[in-house]
Amino acid sequence: MSERPDPPTTQAPPGAADLAARFEREFGRLPDGVWQAPGRVNLIGEHTDYNEGFVLPFAIDKTARVAVAVRQDSTVRLLSTYGDQGLVTADLAALAPGSAKGWTKYPLGVVWALQQRGIAVPGLDLLLDSDVPLGAGLSSSHAIECAVITALNELSGAGLGPEDMVLATQRAENDFVGAPTGIMDQSASLRGSKGHAVFLDCRDQSVQLVPFDAESAGLVMLVIDTKVSHSHADGGYASRRASCERGAEALGVKALRDVRSRDLPKASSLLDDVTYRRVRHVVTEDERVLQTVELLVSDGPGAIGALLDASHDSMRDDFEISCPELDLAVETARTSGAIGARMTGGGFGGAAIALTPVEAEARVRAAVERAFSEAGYTAPEIFTVTPAAGAKRIS
C-alpha cells in the first residue's frame, strides 16, 4: 500500500485542447483552464459508506472535463457537448435546491455547496464534456461534480483539501440534487491514483492506496453496462439507508460499522427479518472489504474472485438491490470464465464488473451478449477499465 501521488502530467491528453477550442467558439474567449475528474468502479464495499464502514473503489479511465473561465459579474453560463439543454444561465445569488434541471444540477450544486461554506464563488462560463457513460452506475454525476469542484477550488482560491471537497460534493448531492448518497464516489474521483484502488475508511476519511494491477496478473476488469438506468434520488436507495439507520439504533451502535459478524446471532433476535438481512449485508460486506485488501496485498488480484461473488450474492439476497439483468450478467460471466463478478454501485440497474482472465475475455463477452439476447434484454455494453488518476487540471 502507498500514498504515492500521481506524477504531474507533462502533456495535455487529447481532449483538453479540443475542449478549449470549442469553449472559445461558444463563449468568444479562451477558458482559464481545463480540469478533469474520473468516474469510478467500486471493486467491493457496497452501501457501507453511509454506515461509516469501508469501501475499495478505483477511479477509471473515463472522465468528465470542464473548461471554465471566470466572469466579472454574478452570472453562471453552462453548456455541455451533449447539447441537450443548450446554454443554461443562472444567477449566483438565486441558487437554491430545486432551481436547476438535468446535468446542470451537478455544477450548480457544487457552486451552491461552496457558497454554503462561505466561499465566494465568482461568476463563470463553463463547458462540460464527458465520456463516463450516463446512468450506468459508474458515477457520471460525481465525475462532473469533482471536475467542477477541482476547478472552483483553484479559481476561487478556496484552498480546500480533498476531505473538504468530498464533503462539499456530498452536500451538493444530498441537499441540492436530492440523492442521499455517501462519500465513496467523490473520494474515488478526487483521490484515485493510476494502478491503485482507494481503500477508504468512511468514518474518518483516511485513505490507503492499494496496488490493483489486473493486467500483470493476466486479468482484465470487464464492465457490463446492463443499460438498466437507475437514480439514487428514487426511493430504493433511501429506503435501504433508512433500514440501516433503524438497525444501528435498535442494536445501540452509532453506525453499522460498529457491528461484527460475531454479533449477528444476537442481532437476529432483536431485529425483524428484513432489517436483519440489510444489517447482515453491511456487516459481512465490511469484512469482505478488509479481506480483499489483505488478499490484494498478499496474493494480488487473482485471489479475490470468491469475495466478489460473495458480495454480489449478499446484495442480491440480503440487501435486495440487484435486478434480473445484473444477476444474468454476473451469473453468465462466472459460468463462462470470470474468476469473480458482482454488480457495482448503488444497484437497481447500472453495471456489473467481471474480473476475467485475458484468455477468457472474448468468451465472457460473447456469452453475456448471447444470454441478454436470449432473455430479450437490451444489448449490454461491455468494456474494460483500468485504475486511473484522480481529478486534476489538464490544461
Out of 105, 227, 230, 232, the residue judged to bind ligand GLA by CB under 6 A: 232
Q: Rounded to 5 degrees, what angle do the CA atoms 218, 223, 80 make?
A: 130
Of 395, 340, 378, 391, the closest CA to residue 6 belongs to 391
Judged by CB under 6 A, the residue of 104, 140, 181, 311 near ligand GLA is: 181
Q: How far is the CB of 228 from ligand GLA (least distance, A)?
A: 15
Does residue 36 bind ligand GLA (CB under 6 A)?
A: no
- If you search the block for the grid coordinates 464492465, which residue do you land on? 223
Given the rule CB under 6 A, which of 44-52, 150-158, 219-227, 334-342 is the region that contacts ligand GLA? 44-52
Q: Which residue has the cell 447500472?
A: 350
* 285 touches ligand GLA by CB under 6 A: no
**Span from 47-55, 143-151, 271-279, 325-333 in contact with ligand GLA (CB under 6 A):** 47-55
β pairing state of 392-393 and 33-44: antiparallel
Q: How far apart are CA 103 and CA 134, in angstroms?
A: 10
Selected binder of ligand GLA within 47, 105, 278, 316 (CB under 6 A)? 47
DSSP string, 171-232: HIIIIII-----SHHHHHHHH--TTEEEEEETTTTEEEEEE--TGGGTEEEEEEE------T
The region of 43-51, 104-112, 300-308, 312-320 touching ligand GLA under the rule CB under 6 A is 43-51
3-state secondary structure of 216: helix
- Is 234 tagged catalytic? no
| Residue ranges in 317-346 that form contacts with ligand GLA under rule CB under 6 A | 345-346
d(CA 109, CA 105): 5
Q: What secondary structure letter does DSSP report for 387?
A: B
Q: Which is nearer to ligand GLA, 241 or 365 (CB)?
A: 241
Q: What is the largest CA-CA distance in the chain?
A: 67
Half-sphere exposure of residue 147: CA atoms within 13 angstroms, side-chain side: 32
Name the active-site residue from 185, 286, 309, 318. Answer: 185
Is residue 65 a contact point for ligand GLA (CB under 6 A)? no
Query: Closer CB to ligand GLA, residue 92 or residue 207?
Result: 207
Please identify which residue in the block is written with the cell numbers 435546491. Answer: 97
Site size for ligand GLA, by CB under 6 A? Answer: 11
Question: Taking CB under 6 A as the rule, does residue 182 contact ligand GLA?
Answer: yes
- For ligand GLA, the binding residues (CB under 6 A) are 46-47, 49-50, 181-182, 184-185, 232, 345-346
Q: Which residues are catalytic?
A: 185
